[in-house]
Amino acid sequence: MAISALLICLADGKFHSGEQLGRLLGISRSAVWKQLQAIEEKTGLTFFKVPGKGYRLAEPLELLTPHLIKCVDWPVSILDTIDSTNAEALRRVLNGATQPPFVLLAEHQTSGRGRRGRLWVSPYAKNIYLTLALSIQGGVRQLEGLSLVVGLAVVITLRKIGLKDVGLKWPNDILLHNRKLAGVLVEISGDPADICTAIIGIGLNVNMRSAENIDQPWISLHEAIGHPVSRNELVSGLLEELRVLLGLHQEQGFAELGKRWEENHLWQGREVVLSSGVHQVNGTVLGIGLDGSLRLNVDGHEKSFSGGELSLRLNNDS
C-alpha cells in the first residue's frame, strides 16, 4: 500500500486548511476529513483539528523517501503498512516476485517480530523496520556468524553518529545503557548446504518516545541524543555498512570480523546465565567461536553454545 498523499502533505507539522488540502489532492473537504479519520485509525497518529486553521500533525513526521536513501548495490522498496518486512520479503522470494538481493523498508508493521517469536513494537514512521534479502552460495560456511556481522554493522553505524557507549549482546541485540536499542532476526529460506536466501531483518528504535507491550528495558536514539534523528540518513549509513561488512564476510569468512565483534561485546568477560527453556548454564563469557557460537567458561571448562532459542542475561551476582 502506498503512503497516503494527504499524510505527505501534513508531514511538515504545520496547519493546512481543508480547502487547501482538497485543492492539492483534487478531492472535497469532506473527503479530506474522511481520509484523516482513516489515517488516524490505521496509523495511530494524532491530528489537531482547529476551526479557522485546519489540520496538522501533533508533531512533524519524517517519512522514508526513496531519493533520500542512498544504496549502491541493492534496490530499495518502501512500504507503508505491512505485517512484517521479513514475512513480505520471504513471500516475494517464494513466489518469484522479486529476486534477491533487495531491501524492504516499512513505515509500520502490524505483526513485527523478533527472536523467539517475540513481538517487535512498530509504531508508524518512528523507527527503522528493514529487511535485506540476500542469495547465499557456498554452503553453511557463508552463514556462519551472519547475524552477528549484521549486528556489528548496526553498532558501527551508530558509533558514526556519536553513540560511543552502544554495543552488542550475544547473539543479536544492540544495547545502550543496558537497554535494548535494536535487534536482528535472520531467517533462512532454501537449502543452507547449497543455495539459500538469507532474510535479514533489523529493527532499530529511532524516534519512538513511548510504547506499550515491550517486555524489557528499551531506549531510542531520540532519547539518547536528545533530538529527532533522520531515518533516511540513518538507513543510508546502515546500508553502506552492511554492504561493506557482508562483502568482507563473504570473501574472508567470519574469523576476522569475529574479533571486531568481540571488541564490541558489552558482556565480554562477564558472568552470565544462559537459558534454554528450564535448563540454565552459569559461566563467564570467553568470546565467540568461528561459527558465531558463544564460548563460556563453565566450572573451569570451555563450552560452546548456539541456537535460536537460547537466552542470555547477566548473573545477578556479577
Q: What is the pLDDT of residue 2?
A: 59
Among 1.10.10.10, 1.25.40.10, 3.40.50.10300, 2.60.120.380, name the CATH number for the domain at 5-57: 1.10.10.10
124 with 45: CB under 8 angstroms? Answer: yes
The H or E element spanning position 92 is helix 85-94
Instruction: Consult the annotation and say whether 306 binds a ligand.
Output: no
CATH number of 66-263: 3.30.930.10
Instruction: Return the C-alpha cell found at 169.
Output: 549482546
| 85 assigned binding-site residue | yes
Q: Would residue 180 show up in a list of annotated catalytic residues for this protein? A: yes
Give the DSSP H/E element, type plus range, for residue 221.
helix 221-225
Architecture of domain 271-314: Roll (2.30)
The helix/strand/coil state of 57 is: strand
Residue 168 has pLDDT above 90, yes or no: yes
The pLDDT assigned to 117 comes to 62
Strand 179-190 to 301-305 pairing? unpaired
Q: Residue ranges of the domains in the chain? A: 5-57, 66-263, 271-314
Pair 231, 128: CB distance under 8 Å: yes
298 pLDDT above the threshold of 80: yes
pLDDT of residue 62: 94
159: annotated active-site residue: no
Task: Determine which one of 115, 126, 231, 295 is catalytic.
Answer: 115
pLDDT at 163 over 90: yes
192-229 confidence digits (pLDDT tens):
888 899 999 999 999 988 777 677 789 999 999 999 99
Reply yes or no on whether the pLDDT at 91 is more than 90: yes
Query: pLDDT tens digits for 178-188?
Result: 999 999 999 99
CA 174 to centroid of chain Cα atoms: 10
Taking the C-alpha atoms of residue 81 and residue 171, their distance in angstroms, rounded to an integer, is 28
Annotation marks residue 53 as catalytic: no
Residue 113, annotated as binding a ligand: yes
- The pLDDT of residue 255 is 86
180 is in an annotated binding site: yes
Q: Which of 49, 116, 160, 313 is catalytic?
A: 313
The one catalytic residue in 92, 126, 180, 295 is 180
For the entire predicted model, the pTM comes to: 0.92
> Contacts from 95-100 at CB under 8 Å and sequence distance 24+?
98/133, 99/135, 100/133, 100/134, 100/135, 100/197
Q: Is 84 annotated as a binding residue?
A: yes
Separation CA 302–CA 7 (nearest Å): 56
Q: Is 243 annotated as a binding residue?
A: no
